[in-house]
């Protein structure tokens, strides 16, 4: 699956350009954080890279229907038990039954939800739901995992727990591509940064370079909390 | 008022004595309506789910037609099925006219559009929530249909109850295709119609009361089951 290449990708919705001429390459390695103010096009870019949306112009390779796995800002959990939620996408992906059971148990243990395996998934707390969504995606053992603001509606403790899980998934060799508007989180997790502003990639740099001194005016303003849109 | 009072007493007497004739009629009513509900569910629920997820030219027309069919006058449906099943009709060789089978067909035809239209509405909302995630898992619309039917099971129970209520309350179609033959195709509703036309209003009202209690009971039971299941499954 990797590298995933976006070449001059544009996306239009309702007559307005959401992304224009976006090019980037996702290679194996440390997490890629997509940063930018609200409305910069972060979520749309993630959906394009994952394959949920088709670019208006430009192309994304490899040309698979769906690339990798994805976790959404608000976890979409099936009206089933925690365990059934884990097994559902694995069954769709054609994972053999014994492996499904094994992977589901391992994933539950990793996110600390083993004791809740039989619970209805939608009765979990917000943090537990997001951990389950992460476990569900990770159990697919994707090469690349897209995370769309996974901590946006979580409290600090739940955010810490989710970040810890993300770090562990990344350490196993899964490429993380993640959007966030939380600069602290970006500093904690990022290996490389893609800075998006008004639908364009303004910067694409290793995290330490970006945070030490962004090359662009917009990037510097964003880091100082001045760039709101 | 006097009629109502004596109807109430007659209803109690009917139930207390376990009147054999009434029990047979009641049993037939329930069997016919449940069989019709079963057939309509097998056809109507997947159809509703498919309409909720599929996007094809003419979909709107199908939805509008389904909604219109929800209001199909039972007597017209009965007449059409009568023509199909009559000896000279295309399905005459089935020999079903004036049998409980014909009544099952008539009720199933009446409530299939109801189940399809109502389940489409319920499942479309669910699909809106699930669509992105299911596509992310690589599930197309076809694979989504059984998922939606299962995950919408509690809401669909209410849809089934609406269908059952309509089927068991219906009289125009079953009286045409069933013939209201005593001991064979007489149901609660056709018996009520007959007793009313014979002028035995207390008996007709008593049967009506029993029918209402049964329908209420079925609804309460289903609602209770739904609540218990919902509490356990979320």
Nearest CB to A122: which of B137, B139, B234?
Answer: B234
Q: Spell out where B38-194 has E strands.
A: none
Nearest CB to B151: which of A80, A92, A123?
Answer: A80
Whether B1 shows a pLDDT value over 60: the answer reads no
| pLDDT tens sequence across A153-171 | 899 999 999 999 999 999 9
Count helices and strands in chain B by DSSP H and E runs: 10, 0
Residue A229: pLDDT band (50, 70, 90) is low
Domain region containing B171:
22-187
**Number of domains composing chain B:** 1
SS3 of residue A11 by DSSP? strand
**Is B112 a domain residue?**
yes
Given this model, what pLDDT does residue A28 score? 96
Torsion of CA A184, A190, A192, A194, to 10 degrees: -50
**Is B43 a domain residue?**
yes
**Is B139 a domain residue?**
yes
Q: State pTM to two decimals.
A: 0.88
**Is B214 a domain residue?**
no
Residue B234: pLDDT band (50, 70, 90) is low
Given this model, what pLDDT does residue A153 score? 86
Chain A residues closer than 8 Å to B133 by CB: 72, 76
Given this model, what pLDDT does residue B228 score? 84
Q: How far is B56 from chain A (nearest CA, A)?
A: 19
Order of all β-strands in the sheet with A200-206: A69-71, A144-148, A175-179, A32-35, A192-197, A200-206
CATH 3.40.50.300 in chain A, residues?
1-68+142-229
Residues A31-35, mean pLDDT to the nearest whole number: 97
Selected from 3.40.50.1000, 3.40.50.300, 2.40.160.20, 3.40.50.2300, the CATH number assigned to the domain covering A1-68+142-229 reads 3.40.50.300
Structure token digits, residue B134 = 């299911």
Q: Is the Cβ pair B139, A92 closer than 8 Å?
A: yes
**Is B231 a domain residue?**
no
Domain containing residue B85: CATH number: 1.10.3720.10
């Amino acid at each position: 699956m990797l590298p995933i290449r976006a070449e001059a990708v544009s996306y239009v919705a309702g007559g307005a350009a959401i992304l224009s001429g976006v090019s980037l390459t996702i290679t194996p390695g440390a997490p890629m954080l997509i940063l930018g103010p609200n409305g910069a096009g972060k979520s749309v870019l993630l959906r394009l890279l994952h394959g949920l949306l088709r670019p208006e112009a430009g192309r994304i390779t490899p040309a698979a229907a769906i690339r990798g796995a994805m976790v959404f800002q608000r976890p979409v959990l099936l009206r089933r038990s925690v365990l059934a939620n884990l097994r559902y996408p694995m069954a769709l992906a054609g994972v053999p039954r014994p492996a499904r059971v094994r992977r589901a148990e391992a994933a539950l243990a990793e996110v600390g939800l083993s004791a809740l395996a039989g619970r209805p998934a939608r009765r979990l707390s917000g943090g537990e739901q997001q951990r389950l969504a992460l476990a569900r995606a990770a159990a697919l053992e994707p090469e690349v995992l897209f995370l769309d603001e996974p901590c946006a509606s979580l409290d600090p403790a739940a955010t810490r727990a989710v970040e810890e899980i993300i770090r562990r998934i990344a350490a196993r060799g899964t490429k993380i591509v993640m959007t966030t508007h939380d600069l602290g989180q970006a500093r904690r997790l990022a290996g490389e940064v893609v800075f998006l502003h008004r639908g364009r990639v303004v910067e694409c740099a290793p995290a330490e370079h970006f945070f030490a001194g962004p090359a662009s005016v917009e990037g510097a303003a964003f880091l100082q909390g001045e760039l709101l849109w | 008022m006097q009629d109502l009072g004596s109807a109430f007493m007659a209803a109690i007497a009917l139930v207390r004595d376990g009147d054999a004739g009434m029990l047979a009629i009641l049993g037939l009513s329930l069997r016919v309506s449940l069989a019709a509900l079963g057939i309509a569910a097998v056809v109507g629920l997947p159809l509703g789910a498919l309409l909720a997820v599929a996007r094809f030219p003419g979909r709107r027309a199908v939805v509008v037609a389904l909604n219109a069919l929800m209001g199909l006058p039972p007597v017209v449906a009965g007449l059409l099925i009568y023509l199909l099943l009559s000896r000279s009709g295309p399905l005459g060789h089935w020999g079903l006219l004036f049998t409980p089978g014909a009544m099952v067909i008539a009720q199933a035809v009446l409530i299939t559009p109801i189940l399809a239209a109502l389940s489409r509405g319920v499942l479309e909302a669910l699909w809106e929530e699930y669509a992105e995630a299911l596509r992310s898992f690589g599930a197309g619309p076809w694979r989504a249909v059984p998922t939606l039917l299962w995950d919408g099971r509690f809401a669909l129970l209410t849809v089934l109850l609406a269908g059952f209520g309509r089927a068991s309350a219906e009289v125009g179609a079953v009286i045409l295709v069933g013939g209201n033959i005593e001991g064979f195709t007489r149901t609660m509703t056709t018996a009520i119609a007959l007793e009313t036309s014979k002028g035995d209003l207390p008996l007709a009202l008593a049967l009506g009361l029993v029918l209402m209690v049964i329908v209420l009971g079925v609804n309460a039971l289903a609602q209770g089951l739904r609540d218990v299941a919902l509490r356990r499954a979320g």
